[in-house]
Chains A and B, each alone.
Chain A
């Protein structure tokens, strides 16, 4: 299978990745090769087989709901590229 340019652009947009034209062409080729390789999974008979999302037995992990100190505001903000008044600062989202 060969991904079209439109498909590559669609995937990049879903993943919020700006790509150059050169990258779109190159990743398109490479992803097509990898997906073609992965397509051999289709040949495996998995009828009646349930999927494994975790190798561990499913169980609930519960604890009592008690307040306790978390990350300080200062620590939470200290790696942010732009902050204002103890908040992350971004361009306007709503006009």
Chain B
């Protein structure tokens, strides 16, 4: 048998259920690798070895019981380790959101996504690094230090779910959770060469997710391939009485068997939007994405040009709407109910000092930006106008999905950039998000996966976007591509780290 950490999810589940491997052995293998590699990669903020082994033992007991008394179904992910982005509450495990303002916050309950995964039998290895409150595109905005891209430690892993994406490709965990408000699952998936799903807004409960932009936030997942994320998606998806924005729609059947044939994408119409192949995009990114689109055609898909004319308005609209929502959501961090308090004689000063001292620069900028956009005299010009432009962006997608089933595009204009490259220039960092923001504004699902490498050996990703609640089209198409390519199996060497 190959090394435990190299097993595919399918192999791992088979070995666990057959009793060839215990969850304790699997969990220890990943914990040992984390102990060895994470001092360099820094994918984790909190590692949870003792509790993880208890959860693994619980899973092993369940598997043993079932072997004695067969007939009952084992929960889908029994004994499989997972890492959770540190903006999702895991009961009794510190949740920092990458911020000093929550450095000692211990959630008293599980996020619904986490709760459902625990019921499905997962073992939680720990909490992964993130830009503070998920605000960023590089994981450099974490108060706990940046995560390093396993393909080249001088480069960022993307963000904000950079810890989760880096952990997957470095094989510190087989599965991980992320969140995507403006691209925070898809962009790090692209930068790290892994597969990541951003479900439709409303598909997965946000209960227990520390809110950033509530009309945009979606809980998503990372894995080594489209096929490996599907069980995670199925467990998390579905209506939740604790989140009134979840929609009670059945999870569509994801049919992979049909995709095994060499013409599995027959009858699928794939749209390629001109607006995503703009001047300034790294040439290798465009080349690799176009080659992947050729591959879809070989697999039987019909390729059509589509237009999403309001694409370039997504960036200014997003950077008004998301900060506006953030400025309201983050008002709760005031040094009274949780987090540290910077003492003062007067209550208003407790708020001012605690927030001023404990929030990092990017969070303060976005709170101020949002506060300004919502303030008297500017509301209509900024927030009101951004919401109307959002309608136009949403209509772009509705019109395109009249003509095609899915849309194929680059995830980001470049591959991973250097740590520190965007320095203290927030606007240049925001421009990294131009291709991921529209899906969030429109609420449509997206999947990102690797389609090649640039000449420095950094991964290139592409994304597929689909109509609301049609994630099965994304999984099936990415799966079909991954059956005939091996980009998703490539691994960084990291020799110098070992």
Contacts of A30 in B (CB 8 A): 365, 424, 426-427
Chain A nearest CB from B440 CB (Å) reads: 9
Contacts of B390 in A (CB 8 A): 51-52
Other than A49-B388, A49-B392, give 9 A-B pairs with Cβ distance below 8 A. A12-B368, A15-B368, A17-B367, A27-B365, A31-B365, A41-B382, A44-B392, A56-B245, A91-B347
Q: Are B388 and A18 in contact (CB under 8 A)?
A: no
| Binary B-proximity of A33-70 (CB < 8 A = 1, otherwise 0) | 11101111110101001111111100001010000000
Known: A23-B364, A51-B390, A52-B387. A34 touches B352 (CB 8 A): no
Contacts of A88 in B (CB 8 A): 336-337
Contacts of B373 in A (CB 8 A): 38
Q: Are B368 and A41 in contact (CB under 8 A)?
A: no
Bound together, the chains give a CA A64 to CA B254 distance in angstroms of 35
Interface status of B104 (Cβ within 8 A of chain A) = yes
Please give the residue numbers on chain B whose beta carbons come within 8 Å of chain A beta carbons, in ascending order. Answer: 104-106, 108-109, 201-202, 215, 241, 244-245, 247, 310, 313, 315-317, 319-320, 327, 331, 334-341, 344-353, 355-357, 359, 361, 364-365, 367-369, 371-373, 375, 381-382, 384-392, 394, 424, 426-427, 430, 441-443, 468
Contacts of A26 in B (CB 8 A): 424
Q: Are B338 and A42 in contact (CB under 8 A)?
A: no
8 sample A-B contacts, Cβ–Cβ < 8 Å, listed by A number = A11-B372, A18-B349, A34-B369, A38-B373, A44-B313, A44-B392, A55-B468, A72-B108
Contacts of A15 in B (CB 8 A): 327, 355, 367-368, 371
Interface status of A82 (Cβ within 8 A of chain B) = yes
Bound together, the chains give a CA A80 to CA B398 distance in angstroms of 46
Contacts of B340 in A (CB 8 A): 81
Q: Are B316 and A27 in contact (CB under 8 A)?
A: no
Contacts of B369 in A (CB 8 A): 31, 34-35
Known: A41-B317, A81-B341. A53 touches B348 (CB 8 A): no
Contacts of B202 in A (CB 8 A): 55-56
Q: Are A33 and B427 in contact (CB under 8 A)?
A: yes
Interface status of A2 (Cβ within 8 A of chain B) = no
Q: Are A51 and B316 in contact (CB under 8 A)?
A: no
Bound together, the chains give a CA A41 to CA B371 distance in angstroms of 18
Chain B nearest CB from A43 CB (Å) reads: 9
User: Which label, helix, strand, loop or mixed, suits the secondary structure of the B interface?
Assistant: helix
Chain B nearest CB from A13 CB (Å) reads: 8
Q: Are A91 and B344 in contact (CB under 8 A)?
A: yes
Q: Are A37 and B392 in contact (CB under 8 A)?
A: no
Q: Are A17 and B355 in contact (CB under 8 A)?
A: yes
Q: Are A38 and B320 in contact (CB under 8 A)?
A: yes
Bound together, the chains give a CA A78 to CA B107 distance in angstroms of 9
Bound together, the chains give a CA A83 to CA B310 distance in angstroms of 51
Bound together, the chains give a CA A33 to CA B289 distance in angstroms of 32
The residue that B353 contacts in the complex, of A18, A31, A41, A55, with Cβ under 8 A, is A18
Q: Are A79 and B338 in contact (CB under 8 A)?
A: yes
Q: Are B389 and A41 in contact (CB under 8 A)?
A: yes
Chain A nearest CB from B133 CB (Å) reads: 14
Bound together, the chains give a CA A72 to CA B109 distance in angstroms of 11
Interface centre among B372, B382, B442 (most CB of A within 10 A): B372
Q: A28: nearest residue on chain B (CB-CB)?
A: B368
Q: B341: nearest residue on chain A (CB-CB)?
A: A81
Known: A50-B391, A54-B245, A63-B241. A41 touches B375 (CB 8 A): no
Bound together, the chains give a CA A81 to CA B348 distance in angstroms of 16
Contacts of B427 in A (CB 8 A): 30, 33-34, 37
The residue that A78 contacts in the complex, of B106, B368, B468, with Cβ under 8 A, is B106
Bound together, the chains give a CA A47 to CA B454 distance in angstroms of 44
Contacts of B201 in A (CB 8 A): 55-56
The residue that B352 contacts in the complex, of A18, A33, A46, A93, with Cβ under 8 A, is A18
Q: Are A16 and B388 in contact (CB under 8 A)?
A: no
Q: Are A41 and B355 in contact (CB under 8 A)?
A: no
Bound together, the chains give a CA A91 to CA B347 distance in angstroms of 6
Contacts of A11 in B (CB 8 A): 368, 371-372, 375
Q: A77: nearest residue on chain B (CB-CB)?
A: B337
Bound together, the chains give a CA A61 to CA B69 distance in angstroms of 42
Known: A38-B319, A41-B317, A63-B241. A51 touches B387 (CB 8 A): yes
